[in-house]
Structure 1
Amino acid sequence: MNTRFALRTLAEARRGALLPGAFNAMSARVVEDLGFEALYITGAGVTNMQLGLPDMAFVGLAEIAEATSRIRDAVELPLLVDADTGFGNALNVRHTVRTLERAGADGIQLEDQVSSKRCGHFDGKDVIGTAEMVGKIKAAVDARQDADLVVMARTDARAVHGFSAAIDRAHAYAEAGADILFVEACTSADEIRVLPRDLPQRPLLMNMVIGGKTPIVPADELATLGYGLVLYANAALQGALLGMQRALATLKETRQLTEASGLVASFKERQRIVRMPQMDELAKRFG
């Protein structure tokens, strides 16, 4: 199935499909290997893992496009790509959509924060006007070459103007042509429960940030409520960070580390994920 159509179909099924985040080709391979149906290329993850910096607009279009291209080559899953604010005004959004579509994105997320943006679960956010964001969404829809490319509109207005204002913005973004709606940083289970009722016209994504402002709700419950996608943007990153800390702390303390420690993947497993057996077969075929 065409991956863009597959992503659109997955969201429209409204069955709470899990969407893990990936920050490089290896993490994307792990997501695919475990049998997930799609993945999210996380701007926060690329920033954290490539620069060692917080999610505060330190990466731009070039870095996200490069990450998208590399992940597209590594996996066959549908890719929903975090494009932050679109990296500028409506004309910049047009360029962003064209660039990421060529890089292999199947869906593109745009948010209504001011530049430079902050992680949706940080304090101190601000948002642009509704009309300006509507213009960006229209530019994104107009720019796509493939009608199946998904445009997802995120609003961060919940933290700035309140829950009702966020719902009003989401309605406006749907009317502008957004295919999926994303109200970031809901702060209560009640807010999570009423969103599908108040925004029935488009599939919704709910972001489960581990340690963030939104309470963690099981994906099965979110599916029952009618959410299309359940995002765990940085679960892999946080798991990798803890794994590195534990493995290296043991190495420092004991001055050795083996597969038997249970703290590292085996050499064989590492080569399987990076497809060394397939490379060997290709070497025989062409060598």
Structure 2
Amino acid sequence: MSFFRVVTGFAAGSCSTVHKTGDDDELEPYLTELAFLPDKRLVAVDDMNRKCIILDERLQRLGTPYKFKAFPHGVVCMSHDALCVTFGYGKVVLPLSESTHNIIRPTREIRTSSNFYSVCCMSPSHMVVGTYDDPRPARMLSVDGVEADFDHFLTFTMKTYKVDESMCTYVRSNNTLVLTDRFAHTVYIYDTAKGTSRAVTNENIQEPRGSCVGPGDSVLVCSMRKDSIVHLTIDGKILGTYPVDMKFANNICVSKDGNRLAVSNSARGNTKLKLYNITSNGLDDL
């Protein structure tokens, strides 16, 4: 049984479709990563239009989107008012401040030695970042800009990913790194304390993309070619597979209280963003 229930869509009349904002030069949005703020507002980065967007609980835009000079890839909420955004080529991470009035401002610029794609919170002061064009598929980065590597990576994977081939998440309570390998149709689960890892494959895991920490420190992964979400334990056991009403689901995040889930996709001409309640009552569209 699914534990998701759709509570709202993106806009009235076409409740789950991601629309342009109306700017003359705006392209069809492509949301490359999502993050909840502690008060359940949702932050999304739009790679195609180089924007950071804040949305309310009905997925209506709040304030004015922040416009970047480069193309954003990942976003993470580090505290109640601090975000960090990764970018395509340029080896830059940009910390942002966010106010209750939905005003986004850059605070400084972090120059890195690696190209980072996805990003997730490891602790209030550290992030885990997925790399590309780097033999270390995931690294650590402090909010002060200090980079570090995980131990025992030789037992994990030596693969160097290209952009958009892998994304990561981190289960803080269990020191567990989760890495998706899109074209190997594999989810790697790595115990960073013990240095042990396992590769999870299943017919329902096809082009896995974004992942996040789910209920009870489980893991949720978007199976893009199956238009679904796969639910796993940190031991790699599959608890369930839940279809979502969108083609090519590829990004996912859960709110800080564990009760709300957001999913977006990458289907050109039919991009969507949906919000779910995490319940035990099934998947019911409004």
TM-score (norm 2): 0.32
- Structure number having the greater strand percentage: 2
More helix by proportion, 1 or 2? Answer: 1
TM-score by length of 1: 0.31
